[in-house]
A = this chain, B = another copy of it.
Amino acid sequence: MTRWFNTDQPISLADLAGEVVVLEALQMLCPGCVNHGIPLAQHIDRTFEGAVRVIVLHTVFERHEAMTPVSLEAFLHEYRVRFPMGVDAHEQPGGMPVTMARFQLRGTPSLVMIDRAGRIRHHLFGQTDELAVGAALARLIDEPRPTPA
């Protein structure tokens, strides 16, 4: 990540070990993100309060210069997004964002569910079936915690 918002320090997947994590990948000027992605992330946080950690990944292919830190801050404020948000890095100008490539995301919005052992278990792109998301999260929450090595 090149920068974090809504958190004092960067967050790595290692920091989240033992927790069920929902990673919502979005970008601020994507209509589907604004209409579906953000409301879903907020809804997950309310319904599974305390049992799931929601993290936002801001990831863009192009037009980075349109999304300056001050723009991102205004965006988070206006849409009342209070989750930690990391801004995806680029190894090469014009290339695929690093985390987006690592997680093999198809685009935004994407919902990634990560289990307590840090493994990616589900990838959902675009508009999602809330019954299926609720079922998948309940199952990840109910899995036994991994025992430390």
A63 B74 Cβ-Cβ under 8 A:
yes
Residues of B within 8 A of A131 (CB): 43-44, 47-48, 130-131, 133-134, 137
Copies of this chain present in the complex amount to: 4
Chain A residues with a Cβ closer than 8 Å to the other chain, count = 35
The reply to whether the CB of A14 lies closer than 8 angstroms to some CB of chain B is no
A29 B75 Cβ-Cβ under 8 A:
yes
Known: A66-B70, A66-B73. A139 touches B142 (CB 8 A): yes
The reply to whether the CB of A79 lies closer than 8 angstroms to some CB of chain B is yes
The reply to whether the CB of A6 lies closer than 8 angstroms to some CB of chain B is no
The CA of A75 and the CA of B77, in the complex, are separated in Å by 17
Residues of B within 8 A of A30 (CB): 78
- Determine which of B29, B71, B77, B138 lies in contact with A135 in the assembled complex, contact meaning CB atoms within 8 Å: B138
- Chain B nearest Cβ from A121, distance in angstroms: 13
- Determine which of B35, B71, B74, B130 lies in contact with A130 in the assembled complex, contact meaning CB atoms within 8 Å: B130
The reply to whether the CB of A129 lies closer than 8 angstroms to some CB of chain B is yes
B134 A79 Cβ-Cβ under 8 A:
no
- Determine which of B29, B43, B44, B134 lies in contact with A133 in the assembled complex, contact meaning CB atoms within 8 Å: B134
- Determine which of B66, B134, B138, B142 lies in contact with A74 in the assembled complex, contact meaning CB atoms within 8 Å: B66
Nearest-CB residue, chain B, relative to A38:
B31
Q: A56-100 CB contact bits vs B (8 Å, 1 = yes)?
A: 000000010111101101110111000000000000000000000
